[in-house]
Amino acid sequence: QVQLVESGGGLVKPGGSLRLSCEASGFTLSDYYMSWIRQVPGKGLEWVSYISSSGNTIYYAESVKGRITISRDSAKKSLYLQMNSLRAEDTAVYYCARYNYDSGRRMDVWGQGTLVTVSS
Amino acid sequence: SYELTQPPSVSVSPGQTATITCSGDKLGNKYVCWYQQKPGQSPVLVIYQDNKRPSGIPERFSGSNSGNTATLTISGTQAMDEADYYCQAWDTTSYVVFGGGTNLTVL
């Protein structure tokens, strides 16, 4: 069964750091691009970052550039999101998703999400 | 930055056809996909590459894309289709772009 499970969310103070993890099962992580998407509760989806299957190509949304780092460890079947200098506006549910990067680029598998709350 | 615009809400009667639009500059030159998100759940891909359905998605879901507008059509809408729907495209400058979402009400 193809599955993604996020972890690492929680309450953090403004300016703090947090590392999210996403463990993949049911498919070979190293064969796929992967992405992080976030959603403020009650609001829409916002793309955060994606990383190529090799890890050599990485893109970030302007809203997080310089504060967030995406990485992957195929041996551990995991995707990561290191978040630094967190702000209140980073409060959201963070989803990892498999980013199928063929001719019709799409997020075809999503995790259940992990909630990050930035508050003093 | 590239933007996709969706109507905030659409209403449809059960059994009727629901149409949700997504607008963007020269959107017809890009591939569009659509996601369904029910309350408390993660998004689910329902259409990709403008009009392709992933396995397991009912045939009543279809898509089109031309000019500046992509359209998600749900034929014979059922109560279980009530959800938020998001369009998404890839842009060379903004990379992954989502529309603001449309809340579909079946009443």
Q: What confidence tens digit (pLDDT) does each residue in B60-83 have? A: 999 999 999 999 999 999 999 999
pLDDT at A20: 98
Q: How far is A13 from chain B (nearest CA, A)?
A: 25
Start-to-end C-alpha separation, chain A: 39
Mean pLDDT along residues B37-65: 97
* Mean pLDDT score, B33-49: 97
Count of CB atoms situated within 10 Å of the CB of A38: 24
Q: Give chain B's mean pLDDT.
A: 97
**CB half-sphere exposure, A32, CA atoms < 13 A:** 23
Quick one: closest CA in B to A35, which residue? B96
Regions of chain A short of the pLDDT cut 70: none
What would the pLDDT profile of A46-73 be if each residue is shown by its tens digit?
A: 999 999 999 999 999 999 999 999 999 9
Token readout for B19 is 């149409």
Who among A46, A61, A95 is closest to B42 (CB)? A95
> Residue B91: which pLDDT band, with cuts at 50, 70 and 90?
confident
> What is residue B94's predicted lDDT score, i.e. its pLDDT?
79
Q: What's the pLDDT at A9?
A: 97
- Judged by a CB distance cut-off of 8 A, whether residue B93 touches chain A is no
Q: Report the SS3 class of residue A112.
A: coil
pLDDT score, position B12: 98
What digits encode the pLDDT tens for the residues B2-32?
999 999 999 999 999 999 999 999 999 999 9
Contact residues, chain A, for B33 at CB < 8 Å: 104-107
CB B85 within 8 A of CB B104: yes
Q: What is the mean pLDDT of residues B81-91?
A: 96
The answer to whether residues A8 and A24 touch, using CB atoms and an 8 Å cutoff, is no
Task: Give the A:B interface size as CB pairs under 8 Å.
Answer: 59
